[in-house]
């Protein structure tokens, strides 16, 4: 654990909601739990609250450490903390694990009250709109009538946009980073290949592998390896690994020869031990289904017309999975709808993962934006 520039030790909280939640597909969860972490202090009028929404494989652990033996902090520790761009000396920051996740919130690993066993494949499909609905209930529980900001990258950015559309009176600022108003055809295709790797794993057991005491490691491993490639840029990957080999000469077999192969297999193996396969399937479907313009006959300008929040958009030059032109598409719709919006297009070699990386210009832009939000709170 490195205490320098960190919020330090944090403790997750599990909140129980003893009320039914009707999902977009008509299914009903009789009750549910959300795992959250909070950082900083809520001010007297509860106006300084910031919600951090996670991407596909993220969770509630945004910043800090869970114990002194942790080697790595939360997934956005370089962004959230005392004196950081999202300054916890000034803001009360909330991170949560979404419904359908596998890090404490109600999901496929949770007990189905009807059967007394893990939901597994019986856990209903959830959407970004469902997450916003549950997050609004979380805000009610915390006594937060209006978020100062909601912020996220990738799938997290989609949640921030859906919040601005669905709950316009409960949000002052939405920060939508490395995201898009809907997935491209290519992205949907990548997601389906990843799902097929999991669904066809012999240990998937039709989604009920927990009861069989199995894990579909092979499918998860392949899904993560393929996904990881799409999160990176060729320039960044090339600079890191090039054609560097493990041994001087070709071995003429199918074992690891190139360093990039070793890296991807390591990432795949690690992921297969820490993430639930059913949750992975659910998260990728939530990505596929996200399309706020669908309710407006495909008209994105009409979809964003109810937004009252100020919008901040950021994209990264080497991000080919959520390319800058997708942010530009959203920008054009917001401008056409006469909404206040700022957009920053950043140069980066890190691909889609750039939103998680240390980057001077990127972090400076976020810091300036949150400084402006803080100044609004003192008016």
Block mean pLDDT (10 aa), the chain, length 379: 77 97 97 98 97 96 94 95 97 98 97 93 97 98 98 98 98 98 97 98 97 96 94 86 88 91 94 97 98 97 98 97 97 98 96 95 98 88
Q: Which residues are catalytic?
A: 154, 319, 352
Give me Rg for the CA atoms of the chain. Answer: 21
**Is residue 317 helix, strand or coil?**
coil
C-alpha to C-alpha distance for 172 and 50, rounded to whole angstroms: 10
Phi and psi torsions of 37, nearest 5°: -135, 145
Continuous H helices in the chain: 128-142, 155-166, 185-199, 217-231, 234-241, 259-274, 277-289, 300-303, 324-336, 360-377
At residue 2, the pLDDT reads 62
C-alpha to C-alpha distance for 100 and 125, rounded to whole angstroms: 8
Question: Do the beta carbons of residue 132 and residue 26 sit within 8 Å?
Answer: no
Torsion 168-173-176-180 (CA) sign: positive
> What is the number of alpha carbons within 13 Å of residue 149 lying toward its C-beta?
28
Beta carbons within 8 Å of 349's beta carbon, 6+ residues apart = 233, 235, 236, 239, 318
At residue 1, the pLDDT reads 61
DSSP β-ladder status, 92-97 and 32-39? antiparallel
Continuous H helices in 173-323: 185-199, 217-231, 234-241, 259-274, 277-289, 300-303
Question: Do the beta carbons of residue 236 and residue 351 sit within 8 Å?
Answer: yes
| Most distant pair of Cα atoms in the chain: their distance | 69
C-alpha to C-alpha distance for 331 and 312, rounded to whole angstroms: 9
Query: Which residue reads 């059967």 in tokens?
Result: 115
């Amino acid at each position: 654990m490195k205490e320098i520039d960190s919020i330090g030790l944090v403790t997750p909280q599990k909140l129980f909601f003893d009320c039914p939640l009707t999902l977009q597909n008509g299914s009903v969860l009789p009750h549910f739990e959300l795992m959250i972490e909070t950082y900083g202090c809520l001010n007297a009028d509860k106006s300084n609250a910031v919600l951090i929404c996670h991407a596909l494989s993220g969770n509630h652990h945004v910043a800090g450490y869970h114990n002194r033996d942790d080697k790595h902090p939360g997934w956005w520790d370089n962004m959230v903390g005392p004196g950081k761009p999202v300054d916890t000396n000034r803001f009360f920051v909330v991170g949560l694990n979404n419904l359908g996740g596998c890090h404490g919130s109600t999901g496929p690993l949770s007990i189905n009250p009807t059967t007394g066993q893990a939901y597994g494949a019986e856990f209903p499909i959830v959407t970004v709109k469902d997450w916003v609905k549950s997050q609004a209930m979380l805000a009610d529980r915390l006594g937060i009538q209006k978020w100062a900001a909601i912020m996220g990258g990738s799938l997290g950015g989609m949640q921030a946009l859906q919040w601005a559309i669905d709950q316009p009176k409960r949000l002052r600022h939405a920060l939508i980073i490395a995201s898009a108003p809907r997935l491209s055809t290519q992205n949907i295709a990548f997601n389906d290949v990843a799902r097929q790797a999991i669904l066809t794993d012999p240990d998937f057991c039709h989604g009920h592998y927990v009861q069989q005491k199995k894990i579909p490691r092979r499918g998860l491993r392949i899904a993560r390896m393929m996904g990881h490639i799409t999160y990176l840029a060729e320039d960044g990957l090339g600079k890191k690994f090039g054609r560097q080999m493990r041994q001087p000469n070709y071995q003429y077999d199918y074992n690891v020869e190139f360093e990039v192969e070793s890296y991807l297999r390591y990432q795949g193996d690690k992921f297969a031990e820490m993430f639930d396969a059913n949750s992975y399937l659910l998260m990728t479907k939530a990505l596929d289904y996200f399309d706020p313009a669908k309710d407006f006959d495909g008209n994105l300008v009409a979809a964003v017309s109810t937004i009252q929040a100020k919008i901040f958009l950021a994209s990264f030059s080497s991000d080919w999975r959520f390319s800058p032109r997708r942010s530009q598409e959203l920008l054009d719709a917001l401008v056409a709808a006469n909404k206040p919006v700022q957009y920053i297009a950043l140069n980066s070699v890190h691909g889609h993962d750039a939103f998680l990386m240390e980057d001077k210009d990127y972090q400076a832009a976020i810091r300036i934006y949150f400084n402006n939000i803080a100044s609004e709170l003192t008016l």
